[in-house]
A and B are shown apart, each in its own frame.
Chain A
Amino acid sequence: MTENQLVYLYCVTNEEPGLEEAGSLVNNLYFVYQKGLYAVAGKVRESEFGEQNLKKNLADLGWVSTKASNHEKVIEEVMRSACVIPFKFATLFNTDDSLKAMLEQYAEEFKAVLKRLENKEEWGVKIYCDIEKLKASLADDEPEILEIENEINLSSPGKAYLLKKKKAELIEDTLNKKINEYGQETFELLKELSFSARINKLLPKEVTEREDDMVLNSAFLVGKDKVGDFINMVDTLKMYYEDKGLFFDCTGPWPPFNFCSLPKPETQNG
């Protein structure tokens, strides 16, 4: 009995993709060609990726982890030698013909996006903040807070008590302002070195599994000739903010997942 298969799309490119490396990651990897575009796809079992079973599998973190990593790795391999448009995880077609029809339909849009992405890389920058460390640094550095501290030392116990409360409130307020300011400054500086930049949703600790809080989740589309400058800037910012309890996590190059939205309004990019 031959099981029904579906066509799983990884990415689209305008150069013939070398699939040797990528093909060692997943079974049945191939490409279809239409209108100057190559779609890198794989055959998957309907029992695994069909609508009902996919929903079940999506609730299985082990399954999702493996498949999502494969999705990413295949695109990364193709990306080594070609500019790619990465598709969302589990983009499925019934047949090669329906995939070709999609290429045909969106050919102009894909070509425009590929042209825009040429010679550029996506880099991700996340900032985490150790709130207690930042609070301590504010207590040492902020003139307004230092002033209250001075007053506390010169005051009667009763007045000192009230001033301490005031100081704690001031630190809380300043904390929010500073986190905003640091995040914004970082984002703006890195944006200047990039073609495009975006801020994404912050991820909660349940997901990051870190002690400190994520305070910036951003992605940048950087020209290949600017990547060195970009990393140097991240490095500089990292050193500058280290004493304030900020931790920088810079990763890349990524397939341009954040920068591949199509120009047409009826299509969407997440």
Chain B
Amino acid sequence: MDNVLTKSKDVTLLEVLDRVLEKGVVISGDMVISVADVDLIYLGLKVLLSSVETMERLRGSPFASPMQEPT
């Protein structure tokens, strides 16, 4: 039963990065920078985006797309 619910206190860094770097409101306007530039961080994390494709292939038909919530 342990691990069913991870309290936000001890969530992994992954969970945090997955949200704060990828999500949240982005506004255009009188700003210094619009940080959409997460590619650099991905390099730091050694993320190979092709691995994501590997998973999608493994998972078969990409059920993610039709069910994706419109934003």
**Contact A260 B24, beta carbon cutoff 8 Å:** yes
Q: Which residues of A contact B (CB under 8 A)?
A: 6, 12, 49-51, 54-55, 58-61, 64-65, 68-69, 71-72, 76, 85-94, 98, 101-102, 105-106, 124, 131, 176-177, 179-180, 183-184, 187, 196-209, 213-215, 217, 231, 234-235, 238, 247-255, 257-258, 260-262, 266-270
Query: Assuming A184-B67, A251-B8, A262-B25, is B20 touching A257 (CB within 8 A)?
Result: yes
**Contact B27 A102, beta carbon cutoff 8 Å:** yes
A247 to B3, CA, bound (A): 9
**Contact A204 B31, beta carbon cutoff 8 Å:** no
Output the least CB separation between A215 and chain B (Å).
6
Q: Please indicate the chain A residues that have their CB under 8 angstroms from the CB of B32 in the complex.
A: 6, 49-51, 92-94
Q: Please indicate the chain B residues that have their CB under 8 angstroms from the CB of A131 in the complex.
A: 58
Question: A199-B64, A202-B52, A217-B18 provided; 11 other pairs, C-beta below 8 A?
Answer: A64-B44, A68-B16, A91-B24, A94-B32, A176-B58, A177-B60, A180-B61, A199-B63, A203-B14, A254-B19, A269-B26
Q: Within the complex, which residue of B13, B26, B45, B58 is in contact with A91, where a contact is CB–CB below 8 Å?
A: B26
Query: Assuming A89-B20, A198-B68, A206-B46, is B51 touching A260 (CB within 8 A)?
Result: no
Mask of B16-56 contacts with A, CB within 8 angstroms, 1/0: 11111111111111111111111011011111110110111
Q: Please indicate the chain B residues that have their CB under 8 angstroms from the CB of A55 in the complex.
A: 37, 40
Q: Within the complex, which residue of B13, B15, B17, B60 is in contact with A176, where a contact is CB–CB below 8 Å?
A: B60
Q: Within the complex, which residue of B22, B31, B44, B54 is in contact with A98, where a contact is CB–CB below 8 Å?
A: B31
A247 to B43, CA, bound (A): 28
Q: Please indicate the chain A residues that have their CB under 8 angstroms from the CB of B43 in the complex.
A: 59
A201 to B11, CA, bound (A): 19
**Contact B35 A251, beta carbon cutoff 8 Å:** no
Kindly report which residue of chain B lies nearest to residue A248, judged by CB atoms: B4
Query: Assuming A187-B67, A252-B8, is B27 touching A257 (CB within 8 A)?
Result: no
Query: Assuming A176-B59, A183-B63, A215-B55, is B25 touching A261 (CB within 8 A)?
Result: yes
Chain B interface, number of residues (Cβ within 8 angstroms): 57
Query: Assuming A68-B16, A179-B59, is B44 touching A88 (CB within 8 A)?
Result: no
At the interface, is chain A mostly helix, strand, loop or mixed?
mixed
A58 to B35, CA, bound (A): 10
A49 to B35, CA, bound (A): 11
Q: Please indicate the chain A residues that have their CB under 8 angstroms from the CB of B68 in the complex.
A: 198-199
**Contact B30 A69, beta carbon cutoff 8 Å:** no
**Contact B8 A270, beta carbon cutoff 8 Å:** no
Q: Please indicate the chain A residues that have their CB under 8 angstroms from the CB of B47 in the complex.
A: 203-204, 206-207
A200 to B23, CA, bound (A): 10
Q: Within the complex, which residue of A89, A124, A200, A206 is in contact with B21, where a contact is CB–CB below 8 Å?
A: A89
